[in-house]
Amino acid sequence: MSNRDLSMLTPKELARIEREIARKHIGKFPWLAVTAGIGVFIGWLALWPLVLMNIIPAWAGFIAATIFAIIGYLPSHEAQHDIIARPGSRLRWLNELVGHVSTVPLALPFDLARVTHREHHLHTNHPELDPDHGSSASGPLMAIWTAIQNVQPKGRGGHNAYSRTLKRLGRKDVLISSALYRVAWFLTLFALAWTGHAIEAAALWWLPHHVGYIYIQYYLSWAPHHPANETARYRHTRSFRAALGNIGSLGMQYHIVHHLHPRIPFLRTPEAYWEMKPVLEAQGARVEDL
């Protein structure tokens, strides 16, 4: 179907075509996400004896742990959207397992990520209701600086924005479990540090947590929604050409497809994007950069 044909269709008809394309990509079991999620966790765990026994230096462990922390968010993200298995299904336990273990290197509680991420989808770019709106910034350098500021104790975004969201939603259960998760994380770091393993703990968990949070805020929150001033379905998220490419940007170049159809597995979003692009253009979506 040519672009000219599409321009004659109503938004409803375009949405129907879009849904038909999306349906082709939904429902495939995301084997790679499951393997990567569990693999990242096991790989990260393996770094501890490797670094503690001086088989690899702490700096190499830091690089590997940071990569694991960043990559681990993606399988967890699939689990947040129940892409691995829906509630009540036979493999639901696997969805929950992947969700929980893949963000351990990032020290991010899965339940917190799931609840706040859903709010992000429901209220994308809303200054009060989108928990990720704190990552908005005027340009790439400001986005990095804002991401650093967000992880400060009194930061506007990050965990403070997530706490506000959970309070607004009345999810005290998640608020308390997330707070306990954070306390347990700090106590583990303290115990490692006071038993003579502070450098290893910093290299394998503390620094990867911070670098990972900043990287994820930049590529998952800031870049796909910049300038974050529109809230309409086809306007709040964009496709973009990342300086680090699609792999370096964690596949976020095609994030618009994820926002329109969150049940499409992450690895199928590029294919779905190229199939949908003429329809998205006709809908007035922000797809001009890619």
Partner 1 sequence: MQKAMLRRLYKLGPMIFGLGFLTPLAAQLLQSADVPLPFGMSALLAGFLIAMAIAIPAQLRGRWV
Q: Which residues bind partner 1 (CB under 8 A)?
A: 148-149, 152-155, 176, 179-180, 183, 186, 189-190, 193-194, 196, 198-199, 201-202, 206
CB atoms within 10 A of CB 39: 16
CA dihedral 101, 103, 108, 111 (to 10 degrees): -60
Quote the least distance from Cβ 198 to partner 1, whole Å: 4
CB of 193 to partner 1, least distance (A): 4
For residue 11, give the DSSP letter.
Answer: H
Residue position matching structure tokens 């350098």? 141
Of 177, 38, 183, 182, give the one whose Cα is nearest residue 111.
177
- In the bound state with partner 1, the residue whose beta carbon lies nearer, of 214 and 287, is 214
62 φ, ψ (degrees, to nearest 5) = -60, -45
Q: What is the DSSP string of 143-200?
A: HHHHHHHHTSTT-SSHHHHHHHHHHHHT-HHHHHHHHHHHHHHHHHHHHHIIIIIHHH
State the residue for tokens 């790439």.
140
- Shortest distance in whole angstroms from residue 9 CB to partner 1: 51
Contact status, residue 225 vs residue 244, Cβ threshold 8 Å: no
Q: How far is the CB of 151 from partner 1 (least distance, A)?
A: 9
Under 8 Å CB-to-CB from 167, ≥6 apart: which residues? 175
The residue among 215 and 234 lying less far from partner 1, judged by its C-beta, is 215
Q: Which is nearer to partner 1, 213 or 266 (CB)?
A: 213
In this complex, which beta carbon is closest to partner 1, that of residue 183 or of residue 232?
Answer: 183
Altogether, the residues listed in the chain come to a count of: 290
Residue 187 beta carbon to partner 1: minimum distance, rounded to whole angstroms: 8
Minimum separation from the CB atom of position 152 to partner 1 (A): 4
> Which C-beta is closer to partner 1: that of 180 or that of 244?
180
Shortest spacing between CB 86 and partner 1, in angstroms: 33
Q: Which is nearer to partner 1, 40 or 203 (CB)?
A: 203
How far apart are the C-alpha atoms of 132 and 220, rounded to whole Å?
9
Find where tokens 């911070």 sit.
210
Structural contact between residues 15 and 282, judged by C-beta atoms closer than 8 angstroms: no
The least distance separating partner 1 from the CB of residue 149, rounded to whole angstroms, comes to 7
Q: Which is nearer to partner 1, 1 or 176 (CB)?
A: 176
